[in-house]
Amino acid sequence: MKKLLVLLISTLMISTLCIGCSKKTSEEINFFNYGENIDEETIKEFEEQYGIKVNIETFDDMENMYQKVKSGGVKYDVILVSDALMPRMIKQNLVQELNKDNIPNISQMDEEYLNLEIDPGNKYSVPYMFGTVGLIYNKDVVKEEVDSWDILWDEKYKDKIFMFDTYRDTIGVALKKLGYSLNSTDINQIEEAKQLLIEQRKTVDPIYGVDNGTTMIPAGESDINMIWSGEGLNLQEENPNLVYVVPKEGANFWIDSLCIPSNAKNVEGAEKFINFVSDKKSALRIADEIGYTTPNKEARLEQPESVRNNPNAYMPKEIMDRCEIYVDFPKDIKKIYDNAWLDIKSSN
């Protein structure tokens, strides 16, 4: 009887522990996000409404995110995925098909940002935020009209031009200036873009970096910067002497989306979270907080006129048609770009 009693107690303890584990899983989700790409108030409201704790881990490079999700070492419930990586992650079964009955707020998205080539029918993703790469300039110094990438090669602004230290963005600008696609796989076009950037380094000596550009231009350390639209529009609002533009040749248009990994532990919680941040109220607050434009058509209507009618935020069709989403290059093309980038970086 004593042995039986001990066995019964042990069984009950194990069952209680298992129930506790199960309960904990249902009360939290792990969100793998690109930088600080959400506001704290939205997270707080979601946690209070659903009783689900949101554990946020951030990354600063999409390829690093991909490798970590692919390894399966850490299980995430919601991840932010770039347009270029989306087809690869779908093909490799790293993200799962969504049950849209549980994410009804996808209906609030503008049709223009749905059913893109990266995910036809949005079977695996819900648009979260979009933007462009453009130019910001100090109009107190730069007196001429800025509407082209050409100005990045103007010797008048030697030592005062800031370029992204990322091969896709910077080689992409050179390709666009030359009238080519920023997804060109033509070795001669890539070579031409490479030579153009080598020439720029010799004549203009641009500053290469990434995030530091956002502090340099308001401080007067640079006069013309490549910049992400969110940062550019925020800086323009904060500094009357700064102007953000999307060049007439077109630029990179990007869209980041929310997905549920194939090995997610809490799919139900993930669906609730994606639906919550896709609602007009959340989308409006997130866009206001981080400065990027929202694909939520209802939220856009609630934005200040200076934002919703800004052609450098929500671009007119003639500029949008000249913008491109990055494609995910195969290894042989990436190798050509990598070699070109090494030559550019070692040229000065």
Percent of the chain with pLDDT over 90: 76
Confidence class for position 191, pLDDT limits 50, 70, 90: very high
Give the Cβ contact number of residue 72 at 10 Å.
11
Interval 166-175: pLDDT, tens: 999 999 999 9
Neighbour tally for 261: CB within 10 Å: 25
Predicted confidence (pLDDT) at residue 19 exceeds the cutoff of 60: no
In the predicted structure, residue 18 carries a pLDDT above the cut 50:
no
Angle (deg, nearest 10), helices 40-50 and 267-277 = 130
User: Which of 76-85, 119-128, 183-192, 284-293 has the weakest average pLDDT?
Assistant: 284-293
Tens-digit pLDDT profile for residues 242-274: 999 999 999 999 999 999 999 999 999 999 999
Whole-number pLDDT of residue 234: 87
Q: Considering the domain 27-124+256-308 in this protein, what is its CATH number?
A: 3.40.190.10
Mean pLDDT of the 318-336 span: 91
Candidate from 6-15, 47-56, 123-132, 151-160 with smallest mean pLDDT: 6-15
CA distance 99 to 34: 24
Whether 22 shows a pLDDT value over 50: the answer reads: no
**Predicted pLDDT at 91:** 96
Please, are residues 169 and 84 in contact by the beta-carbon 8 Å criterion?
no
Q: Is the pLDDT at 322 greater than 90, yes or no?
A: no
Task: Say yes or no to pLDDT of 90 above 60.
Answer: yes
Q: Pull the structure tokens for residue 334.
A: 């990436």
Q: What is the pLDDT of residue 7?
A: 47
- Can you give the pTM of this predicted structure? 0.82
- Choice among 21-25, 39-43, 54-58, 203-207 with the minimum mean pLDDT: 21-25
Confidence (pLDDT) at 42? 95
Q: Do domains 27-124+256-308 and 131-252+323-345 have the same CATH topology?
A: yes
Please spell the DSSP secondary structure of 166-207, one letter per residue.
-HHHHHHHHHHHTT--TT---HHHHHHHHHHHHHHHHHT-PE
Question: pLDDT value at position 177?
Answer: 97
Mean pLDDT of 175-201: 97
Q: Where are the chain's structural domains? A: 27-124+256-308, 131-252+323-345
Give residue 26's pLDDT band: very low, low, confident or very high (50, 70, 90).
Answer: low
Answer whether residue 14 shows pLDDT above 80. Answer: no
Mean confidence (pLDDT) of the chain: 90
Please determine, looking at this structure, whether the domain spanning 131-252+323-345 carries the CATH number 3.40.190.10. yes
Across the range 118-135, mean pLDDT stands at 95
Across the range 171-184, mean pLDDT stands at 97
Query: In this model, does residue 23 exceed pLDDT 50?
Result: no
Question: In degrees rounded to 5, what are phi and psi of residue 321?
Answer: -65, -20
